Amino acid sequence: MIDRLSNIPLYVQVYDAMRDNIVSHRWLPRQRLPSEAELVEQFNVSRITVRRAVDELVRDGLVIRQKGLGAFVAPPRHSSSVTMLTSLTEDLIEKGFHPGTEILDFSVVPAAVEVAQRLNLSPGEQVFRVERRRFADDKVVALNLSYIPYTVCPKLSREDVAVGSLYGVLEAKYGLSIRKASRDFEMVEAGEYEARLLEIPAGTLILRITGTVSTGDGKAVDYHIKHYK
């Protein structure tokens, strides 16, 4: 697998081999990569070579590192287009599932500092807090928490957020043109709260997506924290 007589640097050869495992789905999205020691043994190269290869995979968005947990195959990237921003409901339907929503919380609260910063608000300004469990048929697949500026859609109702696509409602009912998304992906261990709602054992590795969604002119309309099984 590794050709030491080749002019191609060893770290590039390791990178290519690992990338092939990812794009061919031998290593699946969210799967933990072999440990550094295992990769050293597998490719018969130094730790420095393995680290550089993994660094390149991280830089290319194919792998994510999580402190204390290791490295994982990155989940499929989400486009910033409207189609992808509203994709959970659409994806479930396309795959033959019946999407469902359970509202855990729908309230108006003062924005905490972190929420205010993400939404370009002043701390204490009113925001909608919308927490929902999402289902594929009768199986829970995600836990979604969103904060939406009250001034963006003051008439937003509990019924609005029960229909499935939150972004679809914001566009259809409030005329917002959602075009941009900034998101961070990481693998985390499910805490007691997430585990109970996702119906998995505490400590199970799950995908957390944290991000902000904006209109074409840059107005932030949603700050979300989403957990996926």
User: Does 115 share its domain with 147?
Assistant: yes
Q: What is the pLDDT of residue 33?
A: 95
Does residue 149 lie in a domain region? Answer: yes
User: Does 94 share its domain with 181?
Assistant: yes
User: Does 148 share its domain with 181?
Assistant: yes
- Our measurement of the distance from residue 25's CA atom to the centroid of its chain's CA atoms, rounded to an integer in Å, reads 19
Distance of alpha carbon 108 from alpha carbon 45, whole angstroms: 56
Q: What is the pLDDT of residue 87?
A: 55
Written as six digits, the tokens of 57 are 């995979």
Average pLDDT over residues 117-143: 93
Does residue 3 lie in a domain region? Answer: no
Q: What is the pLDDT of residue 84?
A: 44
User: Does 144 share its domain with 192?
Assistant: yes
Distance of alpha carbon 31 from alpha carbon 38, whole angstroms: 15
Q: What is the pLDDT of residue 59?
A: 84
User: Does 51 share its domain with 141?
Assistant: no
Average pLDDT over residues 94-107: 87
Does residue 2 lie in a domain region? Answer: no
Which one has a higher pLDDT value, 29 or 77?
29
CATH code of 24's domain: 1.10.10.10
Quick check: 78 pLDDT over 60? no
Quickly list DSSP for 49-118: HHHHHHHHHHHTTSEEEETTTEEEEPPPPPPSSHHHHTHHHHHHHHTT--EEEEEEEEEEEEPPHHHHHH
Quick check: 132 pLDDT over 60? yes
pLDDT band at 76 (very low <50, low <70, confident <90, very high): low
Does residue 129 lie in a domain region? Answer: yes
User: Does 51 share its domain with 135?
Assistant: no
User: Does 36 share its domain with 14?
Assistant: yes
Quick check: 79 pLDDT over 70? no
The per-residue pLDDT for range 24-44, each reduced to its tens digit, is 989 998 899 999 999 999 999
User: Does 64 share its domain with 136?
Assistant: no
Q: What is the pLDDT of residue 204?
A: 86
User: Does 67 share its domain with 126?
Assistant: no
Does residue 4 lie in a domain region? Answer: no
CATH code of 146's domain: 3.40.1410.10
Which one has a higher pLDDT value, 120 or 170?
120
User: Does 26 share its domain with 58?
Assistant: yes
Q: What is the pLDDT of residue 83?
A: 38
User: Does 128 share its domain with 202?
Assistant: yes
Look up the domain containing 179 and give its range: 82-228
Q: What is the pLDDT of residue 20?
A: 92
Average pLDDT over residues 121-128: 96
